[in-house]
């Protein structure tokens, strides 16, 4: 058995400047590390340990369990199952990579590349996760209208990914997804007033999904609860960990809403004119 000594953790002031983004987390920072040392940090306690495992465990559960519940063999459902599966996995993959290797010896250059990877995962769930919703909501509309809606959403998504990858604060990164959220809100309004199609049971699930995602972002920006007691939440229950848990719940609500819609799609027929 190979035994390694845990490195000495450092405090906020001793961390590299690019890791000093939460002044209320005072201790438990990993020292600058090689790739191998970053991976070793999976096995000892530090202030990113909870962030790694909240999304790492979520990723493993989604990877194994989601395919068992999706109707891959249904006619016209395979592409929706595929993009939905990738959408649910993407934010957890980027998050885990970011938190494991953020203290890499490559410094700020590597850190910002990892942060971009993390934000790209968030963008993917916003983009891929919505495409089946657009298709199902406009199922009975003429095909050109559905294609225009898809293209419009993808254009909003392109704007969102550029803004998210270039933003320099968590608040600006959250705002990057505004147009995508507004477009989804328009689709949900169409369903609510009866101008769109979809399972009656999925609308409240999708609304909960977006509200949870917004709540998670706001918690992360607010630095609550650690701002009220700096140092007390360095290892557990700080705002970023809480956000991770809320995001995992948001993914589940997206999945439950999609299952409702796919079951509805199996039996629904658009009315003939």
Residue 7 lies in a domain: no
Residue 26 lies in a domain: yes
Q: Which residues contact 234 (CB under 8 A, 6 or more apart)?
A: 25, 26, 27, 28, 47, 226
Is the distance from CB of 29 to CB of 14 less than 8 angstroms?
yes
Count of structural domains, the chain: 1
Residue 3 lies in a domain: no
Is the distance from CB of 69 to CB of 262 less than 8 angstroms?
no
Report helix, strand or coil for 84: helix
Residue 210 lies in a domain: yes
Residue 134 lies in a domain: yes
Instruction: Characterize 216-230 residue by residue with b for buried, 16 or more Cβ atoms within 10 angstroms of its Cβ, and e for exposed.
Output: bbbbbbebeebeeee
What is the per-residue pLDDT for 1?
42
167 exposure class (CB count in 10 Å sphere: 0-12, 13-18, 19+): middle
Residue 272 lies in a domain: no
65 exposure class (CB count in 10 Å sphere: 0-12, 13-18, 19+): exposed
The domain that contains 227 carries what CATH number? 1.20.1070
What is the per-residue pLDDT for 56?
98
For the chain (273 residues), the mean pLDDT of every run of 10, in chain order, is 76 97 98 97 97 98 96 88 97 97 97 96 96 96 94 94 87 92 96 96 97 96 97 98 98 98 94 76
Question: What are the DSSP calls for 123-190, one per residue?
Answer: HHHHHHTTHHHHHHHTTTS-HHHHHHHHHHHHHHHHHHHHHHHH--SHHHHHHTTHHHHHHHHHHHHH
Q: Which residues contact 202 (CB under 8 A, 6 or more apart)?
A: 257, 258, 260, 261, 264
Longest dimension (CA), the chain: 73
Q: Residue 114: how many CB atoms within 10 A of its CB?
A: 20
- Provide the annotated binding site for Zn(2+): 99, 240, 244
What is the per-residue pLDDT for 102?
98
Residue 226 lies in a domain: yes
Distance of alpha carbon 54 from alpha carbon 128, whole angstroms: 22
Closest CA to 95 of 54, 44, 129, 126: 54
Distance of alpha carbon 262 from alpha carbon 256, whole angstroms: 10
- Provide the annotated binding site: 99, 240, 244
Residue 4 lies in a domain: no
Q: What is the CA radius of gyration of the chain?
A: 21
pTM: 0.94
Name the residue range of residue 164's domain: 12-267
Distance of alpha carbon 110 from alpha carbon 126, whole angstroms: 25
| β-bridge partners, 120 | none
């Amino acid at each position: 058995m190979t035994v390694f000594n845990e490195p000495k953790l450092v405090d906020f002031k001793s961390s590299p400047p690019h890791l000093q983004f939460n002044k209320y987390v005072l201790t438990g920072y990993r020292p600058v590390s090689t790739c191998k040392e970053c991976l070793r940090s999976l096995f000892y306690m530090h202030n990113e340990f909870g962030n790694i495992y909240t999304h790492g465990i979520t990723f493993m559960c989604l990877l194994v369990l989601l395919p068992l519940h999706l109707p891959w063999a249904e006619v016209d459902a395979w592409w929706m199952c595929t993009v939905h599966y990738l959408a649910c996995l993407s934010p957890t993959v980027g998050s885990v990579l970011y938190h494991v290797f953020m203290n890499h010896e490559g410094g700020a250059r590597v850190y910002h590349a990892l942060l971009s990877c993390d934000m790209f995962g968030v963008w993917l769930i916003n983009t891929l996760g919505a495409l089946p919703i657009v298709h199902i909501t406009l199922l009975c509309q003429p095909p050109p209208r559905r294609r225009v809606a898809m293209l419009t959403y993808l254009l909003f998504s392109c704007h969102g990914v550029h803004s998210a990858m270039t933003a320099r604060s968590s608040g600006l990164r959250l705002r990057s997804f505004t147009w995508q959220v507004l477009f989804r809100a328009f689709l949900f309004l169409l369903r609510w007033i009866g101008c769109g199609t979809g399972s009656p049971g999925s609308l409240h699930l999708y609304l909960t999904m977006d509200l949870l995602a917004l709540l998670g972002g706001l918690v992360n920006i607010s630095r609550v609860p650690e701002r009220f007691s700096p140092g007390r939440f360095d290892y557990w229950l700080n705002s970023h960990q809480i956000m991770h848990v809320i995001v995992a719940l948001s993914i589940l609500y997206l999945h439950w809403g999609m299952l409702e819609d796919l079951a509805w799609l199996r039996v629904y027929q658009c009315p003939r004119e």
